[in-house]
Amino acid sequence: NAGVTQTPKFHILKTGQSMTLQCAQDMNHGYLSWYRQDPGMGLRRIHYSVAAGITDKGEVPDGYNVSRSNTEDFPLRLESAAPSQTSVYFCASSYGDEKLFFGSGTQLSVL
Amino acid sequence: SQELEQSPQSLIVQEGKNLTINCTSSKTLYGLYWYKQKYGEGLIFLMMLQKGGEEKSHEKITAKLDEKKQQSSLHITASQPSHAGIYLCGADSNAGKSTFGDGTTLTVKP
């Protein structure tokens, strides 16, 4: 099992551009979530999903969209990137209320 | 890469007892975060420590970072059932990368 796979590892965007951060898990976990990590603020949840077809907003959802068409994949889309979205993004999964498994992170810079 | 080792993996305590969770790194920590995981709520940010010897408290939870900035402890005084959950430490390295411990599952028996 690969666990939680995030791509890309690094990316630079210009303001107004769009992109999709990919997250895939092969552990048959129902729960998938996206977090952003900013200095001094720790991890903040953006969106999450408890099962395919179900998504919900986290603490900081504005400017981000997600979809969950199957169990494995949970892409995070930035439609019109802003400099405030410069951050490190983590995807995490779990089986029910068990421990979270994290991807390796995506470092995103918006210029 | 920086590895974070958390101990214990799980802990069962009687209500009212004190407990400590540890998070150890092989390298210097530049930012150490403690979170509590609650199902349906994701990770709840508890505290962040940056300076060697730093100590922070919130209600009955105290977190410390040692002088060498390689070990942090989370101490809960007079535990309550509401403290039950999974506690996770996370850290920044000087390369700007982040890593996480495996988590400690805490059960508090009434």
pLDDT digits (tens, 9 = 90+) for A7-65: 999 999 999 999 999 999 999 999 999 999 887 677 888 999 999 999 999 889 999 99
Nearest to B98 among A44, A100, A105 (CB): A105
Q: Which residue has the tokens 């799980």?
A: B10
Whether A96 and B37 lie within 8 Å, measured CB to CB: no
Using a CB-CB distance cutoff of 8 angstroms, which residues of chain B are in contact with residue A58?
Answer: 42
Does residue B40 have a pLDDT over 70?
Answer: no
Q: What is the largest CA-CA distance in chain A?
A: 38
* Cβ neighbours of A15 (radius 10 Å): 11
pLDDT band, very low/low/confident/very high, at B69 (cuts 50, 70, 90): confident
Q: What is the mean pLDDT of residues A72-97?
A: 92
Whether B37 and A58 lie within 8 Å, measured CB to CB: no
Does residue B11 have a pLDDT over 70?
Answer: yes
Using a CB-CB distance cutoff of 8 angstroms, which residues of chain A are in contact with residue B97?
Answer: 105
Does residue B96 have a pLDDT over 80?
Answer: no
**Mean of per-residue pLDDT scores for chain B:** 88
What distance in Å separates the CA atoms of residue B67 and residue B86, rounded to the nearest whole number? 26
Q: Tell how far CA A84 is from the center of its chain.
A: 16
Number of helices (H) and strands (E) in chain A: give both, helices first. 0, 11
Using a CB-CB distance cutoff of 8 angstroms, which residues of chain A are in contact with residue B90?
Answer: 37, 42-43
Residues contacting residue A29 through CB under 8 Å, at least 6 positions apart: A71, A93, A94, A95, A101
**Whether A35 contacts A92, CB under 8 Å:** yes
